[in-house]
Amino acid sequence: MSPRVLLATSANPSASAADDAPLVEALQQVGVRADWAVWDDPAAGFDRADLVVLRSTWDYPQRREEFLDWSGSVPALANPAPVARWNTDKTYLAELAAHGVEVVPTGLLKPGQPLTAAELADWPGREFVLKPSVGAGSRGAARFAPDELERAAEHLADLHAEGQVVLVQPYQRFVDREGETALVFLGGVFSHAFVKGPMLRAEPGELGAGERRQVVPDAGLRRAAEDAMDAAAAVHGLRRADLLYARVDLVRRDDGAALVLELEVTEPSLGFGHADAAAPLRFASAVRAALR
């Protein structure tokens, strides 16, 4: 009998979940039965599947502990539950930095900790971003001018009221011109890349907010993404191949050097709609390898 895979989603995934539409057919082509299932549906039979693959479970930020408890209860989950626990809190960036990965400079403000000029001292005159450590997409993220400390403090207070640790980062101005570059790895191997337009207040004439297009990344971006993959595997004592999928989001510093903005190994959109036609089949092959 063919192995059975469940692709975990949420009850009301956003329109961008359509990006995964080719996956069921691609898996069928390599002899794997696949169905979609809502992660918090007790009748879905996750314990009977040969493999459960986290995909568009995008309602988890409001129910993170429930989601992580469910993840830990699934016998065969990709990516593994400990990886999901680590990756659904963006404080993991500090751990990547400790492993030598060039990440966007990141400060952490715990609930009750105010935003002062000291937190911004290393980035004089720069715009900055505040974002919650737990959140999907750009939800809760906001961009501020250097003279908007009062408005930023209000936003910080709102996030702290939700119990969030808040990340403070210098805004990388290159994003307005070339967006973020997302490099996708399947089974630990580079598959494809796409550019995402800036999500925070794109100005007229800049790359459109949320716009996406396929791209061939240069050597600097490739190396930075490979470094992030190696570090993520090392943190968890895994081989890179043990990560069924990953998306490394990169931006450029003012001097053009690549910086890791995020490493998504829980439920990222993998950009199949902005990749070559064989990309879903590469995903299917990675699933077959994981089943072994």
Q: Assess if CATH 3.40.50 describes domain 4-80.
A: yes
**Gap between the Cα atoms of 46 and 43, Å rounded:** 8
Q: Which residues of the chain have pLDDT under 50?
A: 202, 204-207
pLDDT in tens, 60-78: 998 999 999 999 999 999 9
247 is catalytic: yes
| HSE of 159, CA atoms in CB hemisphere, 13 A | 29
pLDDT in tens, 121-146: 889 999 999 999 998 767 889 999 99
The confidence score (pLDDT) of residue 209 equals: 55
| HSE of 279, CA atoms in CB hemisphere, 13 A | 22
CA distances from 272 to 21, 152, 185 (A): 9, 36, 12
The confidence score (pLDDT) of residue 200 equals: 67
Query: Which of 3.30.1490, 3.40.50, 1.10.150, 3.90.25 would CATH assign to domain 107-170?
Result: 3.30.1490
pLDDT in tens, 83-135: 999 999 999 999 999 999 999 999 999 999 999 888 888 899 999 999 999 98
* Neighbour tally for 14: CB within 10 Å: 13
The confidence score (pLDDT) of residue 269 equals: 94
The confidence score (pLDDT) of residue 14 equals: 73
Q: Pairing relation of β-strands 166-170 and 128-132? A: antiparallel
Q: Structure tokens of 207?
A: 């790359």
264 is catalytic: yes
This prediction's pTM: 0.93
DSSP-derived letter for residue 202 is P
240 is catalytic: no
Is 230 buried (19+), middle (13-18) or exposed (0-12) by CB count in 10 A?
Answer: middle
The confidence score (pLDDT) of residue 201 equals: 57
**Gap between the Cα atoms of 188 and 284, Å rounded:** 13
Confirm if 9 and 19 have CB atoms less than 8 A apart.
Answer: no
- Where do the domains of the chain lie? 4-80, 92-101+174-265, 107-170
Catalytic position from the list 55, 247, 252, 282: 247
The confidence score (pLDDT) of residue 210 equals: 59
CATH topology of domain 92-101+174-265: D-amino Acid Aminotransferase; Chain A, domain 1 (3.30.470)
The confidence score (pLDDT) of residue 136 equals: 76
The confidence score (pLDDT) of residue 207 equals: 44
